[in-house]
Amino acid sequence: MRTTAAGLGLWALVHTLRSGVAQPGVALTFGALIAVGELARQGPAGAHRAPEERERAPLGVAGALAYALLGEVAGTPATHGPVQTLVVVGVAGLVGLVPRPGRGPAGDRLARHLLTCGFAATCVQPLYAAGPLACCVGRGHAPPLVLLGLLALTALGDAVLAAAFARARSGRPYGALLRGELRASGGIGPAIGVVIALATAVAGLWALPVFSLPLLLTQCALRRCAAVRATNRRTVASLARATEIAGYTPPGHARRVAALSRAAGGELGLREPDLDLLEYAALMHDIGQLSLVDPVPSGATAPLPPAEQRRIALLGGAVVRQTGVPAEVAVIVERQADPYREQPVTARIVRTVNAYDDWAGRTAGPDGAPWALERLRLAVGRDFEQGVVEALARVLARGGRTT
């Protein structure tokens, strides 16, 4: 799909250079709007990619879709067509990639935008020309219901492409990825794009700053929220290292449990807010050991009696409640030692991954991980849920990749 998008973009660029740019002022204005939106979307380094990350760039999405759906500019018919739409969206998207070049999620976003905006323009532009639908559509004005229907199809196609790209990167089940993308599809950006296209047809290019400024402020607020989440994650990770610094748990244990727990949760189809809570709880699942007078050998709580595991979990929950993280995190920490049938799925995941890492660390060499996974499977139905164990197994089969 990346190759297809790149090929379409290159062909569109050559075709546009040969035939000339139609209405260059309009093209430049919309291209600048898209580029500003993409440049403003740059979030904090190290933040997790999530389906709703697309909403960190509502201005870029709105500008690209508005140009694809544009039929008139202050009463003058727009003549750019689908091919030039690909060029404007592609060039502006490349400008947005300048601060962080690469073929990762940002490159996938550009490929998706090219394909979805090209689809939208190909569907709507013929409606503005004379033809069998002209009597129903009218010159330059597609009915809002037509645009909304096309918007729904475009959002569906974008979700399908986003899930396919994520599948190629992570190897996670396509169904779970598609469900997550569908939950995150739509949003304020595409909706404002339709409004901008309709307003530009009447008011001209003055409609862009009128609708773009509030959207840009919204985008800045979303970026600030992303920065706060990244700061919270780093703070929790630093707090979780207290058990390692004090010698209660092995180095890297909390980080490994958090990474595998988040990956297993994604495998099970958990939503992004639940994955964040799960990650926080996994990072701090052993923090109750700081209240112990005598450290647990090697920090491994899985071999302890159930009553001792529950005591440590309750101590950890009490500590977590003082850190300012959501109360749900403390609940997960407290309930990780309960019988698994009484636990929420997040606590089951932490319980399973913690036991795996404890057991894998007790056996040196390459046989530790397979032995620990086999021990989990032998305890399915008694101590662990089969679905969680198999989700962890699929993550481990991919080499523990979490994205």
CATH number at 331 reads 1.10.3210.10
Q: Is the per-residue pLDDT at 137 higher than 50?
A: no
Q: Over the chain, what is the mean pLDDT?
A: 80
pLDDT of residue 48: 46
Instruction: Note the pLDDT tens digit of each residue in 193-240.
Output: 888 888 888 888 888 888 888 888 877 887 788 778 788 888 888 888
The reply to whether 55 and 143 lie within a common domain is: yes
The reply to whether 111 and 219 lie within a common domain is: yes
Q: Domain tally for the chain?
A: 2
Q: Is residue 288 part of a domain?
A: yes
Mean pLDDT computed over 334-361: 88
DSSP H helix total and E strand total for the chain: 18, 2
For 327, residues 6+ apart whose C-beta sits below 8 A from its C-beta are 321
pLDDT of residue 298: 67
Instruction: Note the pLDDT tens digit of each residue in 51-80.
Output: 444 445 688 888 888 888 888 888 888 888
- How many other C-beta atoms lie within 10 A of the C-beta of residue 373? 18
Mapped onto helix, strand or coil, the DSSP state of residue 387 is: helix
Q: Is the per-residue pLDDT at 353 higher than 80?
A: yes
Q: Is residue 177 part of a domain?
A: yes
Instruction: Note the pLDDT tens digit of each residue in 74-116.
Output: 888 888 888 999 999 989 888 877 755 444 566 778 888 888 8
Higher pLDDT, 262 or 304: 262
3-state DSSP percent of the chain in helix, strand and coil, to 5: 75, 0, 25
pLDDT of residue 56: 55
The reply to whether 180 and 305 lie within a common domain is: no
Helices (H), 241-303: 242-245, 253-267, 272-283
Instruction: Note the pLDDT tens digit of each residue in 8-50.
Output: 888 988 988 888 898 899 999 999 988 888 887 765 444 444 4
Q: Quick one: what percent of the chain has pLDDT higher than 70?
A: 84
pLDDT of residue 400: 59
pLDDT of residue 305: 81
**Poorest-confidence range of 97-106, 135-144, 147-156, 318-327?**
135-144
Helices (H), 241-381: 242-245, 253-267, 272-283, 306-320, 327-335, 345-362, 368-378
Residue 338 corresponds to which amino acid?
A: D
| Residue range of the domain that includes 314 | 241-397
Higher pLDDT, 41 or 271: 271
Boundary-marking domain end, from 228, 259, 274: 228
Residue 138's pLDDT band, with cuts at 50, 70 and 90, is very low
Q: Is residue 139 part of a domain?
A: yes
pLDDT of residue 131: 44
Boundary-marking domain end, from 196, 228, 260: 228
pLDDT of residue 30: 92
The reply to whether 112 and 192 lie within a common domain is: yes
